Every structure is written in C-alpha cells, then in structure tokens.
Amino acid sequence: MTSRAVFLVLLFLLFAAATLSFPAPPVFDRYHSPAEIESFLKNLARGQAQVTEIVPIAVSAGGKPLSLLYIGPEAGKPRKRLPAVLVAANLEGTAPLASEAALFLARLILKKPECRRDKGWYVLALGNPDAAANFFARPLLADARNERPHNDDMDDREDEDGPEDLDGNGIITAMRVKDPEGEWVSLEGEPRLMKKAEAAKGEKGVYKLYSEGLDNDNDGRINEDGRGGVNVGINFPHLFRFFSAEGGRWAGSESASLGLMRFVTLHPEIAMTVTFGASNFCLVPPKGGRKGEADFSKIKIPQQIGAFMGVDTDKTYTMDEIMEIARGVAPPGFEFSESMVAGFLGLGQAVNPLPEDLKYFKVLSDQYKEFLKKGKLDAPRLETPDARDGSFELWSYYHLGVPAFSMDFWTLPEVKKEEKAAPGITPEQLEAMSNEEFVALGEEKITALLKSSGAPEDFKAAMVIDALKGGMMDTKKMAEMMRRMPKPKDSSGGDENERAMLAFSDKELGGRGFIPWKAFRHPTLGEVEIGGFVPFAENTPPAAMIENLLQGQVPWVLELADKLPRLRIAKVTSEALGGGVFRLKAWVENAGYLPFPTAMGDRNKRPAPAVITLEGGELAMIDGLKRTALKEIGGGQTRRLDWIIRGHGGQKVRMALAHRSGWDDGKTIILGESK
C-alpha cells in the first residue's frame, strides 16, 4: 500500500475516533477494523433490539471475539422455527471487502423488513479477526494465518522469523538481489515485473527473490517463520488438506472454525449459506472434474469382503444391488444404510458437485450476470479463484447439503488485449452452441479459438471437428475443458494477474499499488532492491469504490434468499371408500425455486427431513404412516402422498407439515369431504 493507503488508514483512524462520540449511521467509504466491525454490529443491534441478537460463537486464537448478528422475527428465541440464511464473511481474513459486504448486508436487511418478515439471517461479518487485523496494522502484510503460534521451520523456536519493513514505508513488499544462483529476470518491456528465467530459451537468471526482511534467527533463511498460525478459511472438513503450511492440524482444529461448525450444527433452521470471500459460486458454479469420485452405479467389491458376501469381485454392482446382497448375508434385524455399506466398502465421498445441483447453479449464474448489468458491474474482470479445499463454502455444499453460494465482489479489471482472439468465444457461449453451430464456424476460427484458449499445439481444429461430428466430443465437454485450461501466458512469459495489477495500479491508483524497486543495503544480503506489489492491492479496491460495488452486488443475496424451497400442502382430498374407510390424498408443493433438499443433501442425508403427520381422534392407519418423511421435491414441483385410514365421516384430521429448515404448514380435513 502506498501513501494513499496510509492516508486512508489515518482517515479511518480519525473516523474511528469520531464514531466513539457520534454513533452516526456507518458509511461504506472506508474499511472497518475487527474492533470496529464488532462495534458496528453492536450498534446495529442496539438500534433495532427487537429484531436482532448478537450470538458469540468463538474467541479467536489471538483472543478476538467472533460474533454472529441474528436479524429476524425470532430474535432472542433460543429455538428458531423459521428458516435462516447464514452469511459468513472473510474467513481467510485477507478479504477486507468481504467484511464490508457483510456489514452492508446487515444494514440492508435491517432497512428492509420484507426480507426478514418470515425468515432469519445470521451474519458473521468477520471469521478470521486475527488475520484481518493485518490490513489495519503497520507494516502492511497480507497473511491469512491466525495467532496460533506455529513452528513453520521446525527449529527450536516458534514464530521467530517474520518480515521487517526495512525501507520504512510501512509496507512489506519484496527484495530482489543479484545472485549467481538467481532464477529470476526482469520482464522484457516491463522491468518492474519479474519472471523465472527459462533455460530452454537460453535465458539466465539474475535475481533471487525474497520477501522484505531479515534472517532473525540466523539460520540462513529469511522470513521463514512469521507470526501464526492457521488460515481459518481452509480449516473445514471437505477436502481438508493435512500437513499443509497453513491449513491447521485437522479440520476444526481452530476455535473459529470449530465454533462455526458447532453453531451451524445446533441450528438446523439454517437453510442456505452464503460465503463472502474469494470464490464466487454466483458467477462460477463449484468446480467439477475432480478424480476420486465413487460412482454408485458401478461399485467394485474388494476381494476379502466379496468372499463373504458371495459376489463376483470382477463385476461391478449398483448400490441397490449391494444393499440387497448385504441384507441377505447379515443377521436378521440388522439395520443397514447406504452410508454404512459405502463406509464399509471404502467408497469415499462426493468430490464433484452433483449434476442435478449444477443445473441450479448455472441458471442462477446467468441470472446473476443480468443482475450485475443493472449496477453496471459486468465489465470483464479477472477470474475469481476456485473455492479452496477445506473452505467453508465447500463444507456447506458437500457436508451440510444446503444450497451454498459464495461471492467475492471484486477482482482486478481485465487488461484489454490489443488483439482479441479471433472468435472470442467464452466457455458459456460455447456451451450454448450446438455441435453443428460450432463446426459451422470453420477451421480457421476454431484454430484461433484453440490457440487463444491455450490448447496444446497438436490439438488441431480438424481433429476437433471430426470428434464433434463423430460424437466423441460435444460443445459442453469442450467448454468444461476450456474452463480448466491454464490461462495462456503472454509471449513475454509474464503473469496475467501481475500485468492486470500493474495496469490497475498505474491507471487507477496513480501507481500506488506497486512500489518501484529501490536500492537498499541489507545487513546480510548486501546490495538489494526493495519493491513490488503492495499487499491487498490485488483484491481490495480503493475505499471510494466500496459503496458502489456493494450496492450493485450484495442485494443479490436477498434474491437468493427468496429462492429458498417453500413446502406447503397445496391440496388435500378425502374420499369415503365405505365401511368407515377413507382414502386421503395430499399434494405437497415446493412453491420455492430451489429443491429440498439439494441433490447433495439427499446424498449425505444431513438436512433434517420434512415430515407430514396425521393427527385427530382415533385414527387407524390401513395404508401409510401417521408420520411420513417427504422425499426430495424440486422447486415448483408437487408430490402426492396417499393414506387409507379408518375413521368416521365428519371426523377432523389434522395434517401437519414440519420442515425444520423451512416453513411449517398444516391443513385440517374433515373425513368424507373433499377440500
């Protein structure tokens, strides 16, 4: 960060002082520190105490509180009956804008009673306060780790060698030093940027690169064991990575992540989560194409288990077939579930979004893009990163089995290329085309497209055309491939993100996003140059942009919340069959847009089921149960349930629908009368 950034910091410090004496409505023209976020939420809550509630869920490793703000009609009630949306922001602590978005959302919800009339909101504005404090501290350093001490270099001390602001500009940047073993060179045409020398091209490395600092513990390494810790944002169980540098010892090893998981588990009314951070499921559906998925329609049974089940271990079986076989060999009365069998066979977890769910993500992504146009926020910008393994958004989707969205709000604007690739087809456009339409583009255009999307050289247009015609390939598969293709490097070998950052810094920040390399005499390295990108310049726009960015994007969350599944008993009939026997029929409708549960929720059996119960006088069930769990119901779909009961004409039967993460409903039927 530059003097402008420093100025902003000073400015907000003044503001912070000011807010102490004037509890004025907060304004989104600056970033709020962890302490300010805490008081912001408290102020909001104080202002509208009847609809708000502050819920502490954890204390961070560094001793900072983590609090949720509940907003909704059930404030203060320990057990909430209405569905709720959980918004969790800035779990990595390196996305100040995400916290601002959460505050903005909280204020918006309070301003608009209609969006909380029949549902609640839980807003966690800051999930990693330890790391978030870095943005407000000097020297400025982007580091997602919390304050749990950690011995990064496995020596005899913890957190003993962090960076130092050697040039005294209040910012930790980089150091480059000429070294015979250097691997880096300046970029041709843009000497501020660096790239790795490519030996095959005859290039020879000039520089070694370090982060700004000293070898504090005299072990020959610089900044190898800075303060902290664990990145709370990747400390959740789905695809948690063990033995990583910042992930923590296991999922939920940190009070913040554990506290959040515990809270969500204790609150089954949470029907949807929205994560504010780096990924954006609203724009780009969760990533697929991961290997290691168990296909429940083709299961191989290991030898030692196959032997006692009496099956052919060379064959594959469907889960249903295996359940049938297992019931045959198990002692009577032994209760089986698919999960038990799947666990026993070591089938593992789902690692790709289920196709049924992806359909919703895709439609909503198209709608979101239209929504962005209204706020004029649809200009091309750098792609948002995929959700990280171990992230909260992945945990929400895969383990909670609720609709899970994420938003990032800003990445650097894309640098306009002088020469746009010939057809300029995005994966989305490609997907929308039929095979024939694509082939009709002709070989030349397809060649250009392949080149611009980084396809290997021997991947020729003619081959693609043949494959499309022969049915081995279709435009959907191609679009998926295109999405996964690494971004082609420009001819100079530079990094596209760095170029975009530099362009933004030069054009929009007056150069303050990049510190020019400047000579410095380093105590152990000798003559070095200090400079490089200012931390946070990449993902944190100038404060003046905040309000506009949030106004154009955050309200989408309200739209998402309107799409929650909404089950109701649309119609019931009662038909006298004679002899005091009646047939009841109920049509249960999902009047919302999203299904209940999601396909993933149906797979993992985590969401509490929606249940229909019959009550009233002496009811003898002939067919069907007094208590029936509903099967999955898609948005706008209706499912019929039938019962045959004995009663008497005119008898009142109460039919109740209980949906723990939705709305309850009920109808009274008088036997013998259709209603």
Partner 1 sequence: MKRSSAFILIALLGALALPGPVQAGTALRVPLSFDYYYTYEMVVEAMRLLHRAYPRLTHLDLVGNSEEGRPVYCLTVNNPQTGAELDKPGIYVDGNIHGNEIQAAEVALYLLDSLLGSYGRNEEITRLVDSRCFYVVPVVNADGRHHFFADANTPSDNRGLRVPRDDDRDGLVDEDFPDDLDGDGNICQMRKRDPFGKYKSDPDDPRLMVRVKPGEKGEWTLLGDEGLDNDGDGRVNEDAEGYLDGNRNWGFDWMPDYVENGAGDYPFSGAITAALAAFIEKRPNICMGWTFHNSGGMYLRGPSQKAQGEYPRQDVAVYDYLGRQAERITPGYRYMISWKELYPTYGDSMEWLVMTQGAYGFVGELFQQKSERFASRQESAAGGPGATETAEGEGFDFRPDRSLDKERIRFNDHLAQGELFKPWREFDHPHYGRIEIGGWVKMSSRLPAPFMLKDLVHRNASAVIFSAKNTPEVELEVFEIKALGDGLTRVRTRLANARAIPSMSYQAQKSKLHPKDTLTLDGAGLRVIAGGEIEDIHLHKVAYKEHRPELQFLVVPGFGKVEHEFLVAGSGELTVSYRSRHAGKRSRTLTLK
Alpha helices by DSSP H, 487-588: 496-508, 546-553, 556-561
Measured from the CB atom, is 127 or 252 closer to partner 1? 252
Q: Does 349 bind partner 1 (CB under 8 A)?
A: yes
Measured from the CB atom, is 17 or 154 closer to partner 1? 154
Q: Does 220 bind partner 1 (CB under 8 A)?
A: yes
Measured from the CB atom, is 545 or 608 closer to partner 1? 608
Measured from the CB atom, is 339 or 434 closer to partner 1? 339
Convert residues 160-179 into a mask of x (bound to partner 1 by CB under 8 A) and - (unbound). Answer: --------------------
Q: How far is the CB of 265 from partner 1 (least distance, A)?
A: 4
Count helices and strands in the chain by DSSP H and E runs? 19, 22
Q: How far is the CB of 271 from partner 1 (least distance, A)?
A: 16
Q: How far is the CB of 458 from partner 1 (least distance, A)?
A: 34
Q: What's the Cα-to-Cα distance from 124 to each of 75, 86, 217, 288, rounded to whole Å?
A: 16, 8, 38, 28
Please identify, among the stretches 15-23, 211-219, 412-420, 436-444, the one whose residues bind partner 1 according to the rule CB under 8 A: 211-219
Q: Does 399 bind partner 1 (CB under 8 A)?
A: yes
Q: How far is the CB of 296 from partner 1 (least distance, A)?
A: 11
Q: Does 584 bind partner 1 (CB under 8 A)?
A: no
298: CB partners within 8 A, 6+ apart: 316, 317, 318
Which two three-digit tokens encode residue 273?
């989560």
Q: Does 540 bind partner 1 (CB under 8 A)?
A: no
Secondary structure (3-state) at 551: helix
Cis peptide before 180 (omega within 30 of 0): no
Binder of partner 1 out of 99, 406, 604, 661 (CB under 8 A)? 604
- CA dist 176 and 284 (Å) reads 37
| DSSP single-letter state for residue 199 | G
407: CB partners within 8 A, 6+ apart: 101, 274, 275, 276, 280, 281, 282, 553, 556, 557
Q: Does 340 bind partner 1 (CB under 8 A)?
A: yes
Residues paired with 519 in a beta bridge: 529
Q: Does 155 bind partner 1 (CB under 8 A)?
A: yes
| DSSP single-letter state for residue 150 | -
- CA dist 157 and 218 (Å) reads 12
DSSP secondary structure, 373-385, as one string: HHTT--S-BPPPP
Q: How far is the CB of 252 from partner 1 (least distance, A)?
A: 5
Nearest to 175 by CA among 203, 198, 199, 194: 194
Q: How far is the CB of 154 from partner 1 (least distance, A)?
A: 5
- CA dist 253 and 232 (Å) reads 9
Q: Tokens 């300029």 sit at which residue?
A: 424
Q: How far is the CB of 607 from partner 1 (least distance, A)?
A: 10
> Number of residues in contact with partner 1, rule: CB under 8 A?
58
Please identify, among the stretches 33-41, 189-197, 359-367, 618-626, the one whose residues bind partner 1 according to the rule CB under 8 A: 618-626
Q: Does 310 bind partner 1 (CB under 8 A)?
A: no
Ranges within 623-662 binding partner 1 (CB under 8 A): 625-627, 629, 658, 660
Q: Does 2 bind partner 1 (CB under 8 A)?
A: no
Q: How far is the CB of 222 from partner 1 (least distance, A)?
A: 12
Q: Does 348 bind partner 1 (CB under 8 A)?
A: yes
Measured from the CB atom, is 239 or 450 closer to partner 1? 239
Binder of partner 1 out of 154, 416, 486, 523 (CB under 8 A)? 154
Q: Does 575 bind partner 1 (CB under 8 A)?
A: no
Where does residue 119 rank: exposed (0-12), middle (13-18), buried (19+ CB within 10 A)? Answer: buried
Number of neighbouring beta carbons within 10 Å of residue 106: 24
Ranges within 496-515 binding partner 1 (CB under 8 A): none
Q: Does 489 bind partner 1 (CB under 8 A)?
A: no
| Cβ atoms of residues 378 and 556 within 8 Å | no
* E-only strand ranges, 110-252: 120-124, 174-178, 184-187, 190-196, 207-211
Binder of partner 1 out of 181, 312, 314, 335 (CB under 8 A)? 335
CA triple 132-136-137, angle to 5 deg: 105
Please identify, among the stretches 26-34, 131-139, 148-156, 494-502, the one whose residues bind partner 1 according to the rule CB under 8 A: 148-156
Q: Are strands 120-124 and 84-89 parallel, antiparallel or unpaired?
A: parallel
* E-only strand ranges, 151-189: 174-178, 184-187
The separation between the first and the last C-alpha atoms of the chain, rounded to the nearest angstrom, is 68
Q: How far is the CB of 66 from partner 1 (least distance, A)?
A: 16
- CA dist 169 and 644 (Å) reads 80
Measured from the CB atom, is 46 or 605 closer to partner 1? 605
Binder of partner 1 out of 3, 48, 297, 337 (CB under 8 A)? 337
| Cβ atoms of residues 276 and 88 within 8 Å | yes
Measured from the CB atom, is 21 or 304 closer to partner 1? 304
Q: How far is the CB of 393 from partner 1 (least distance, A)?
A: 15
Residue 385: HSE in the Cβ half-sphere, 13 Å Cα cutoff: 12
Convert residues 103-132 into a mask of x (bound to partner 1 by CB under 8 A) and - (unbound). Answer: ------------------------------
Q: How far is the CB of 130 from partner 1 (least distance, A)?
A: 20
Q: How far is the CB of 335 from partner 1 (least distance, A)?
A: 5
Please identify, among the stretches 60-68, 300-308, 496-504, 665-673, the one whose residues bind partner 1 according to the rule CB under 8 A: 300-308
Interface positions with partner 1 (CB under 8 A)? 151, 154-156, 217-220, 237, 240, 242-243, 249-253, 258, 261-262, 265, 304-305, 308, 329-335, 337-340, 342-344, 346-349, 398-399, 603-606, 608-609, 611, 621, 625-627, 629, 658, 660
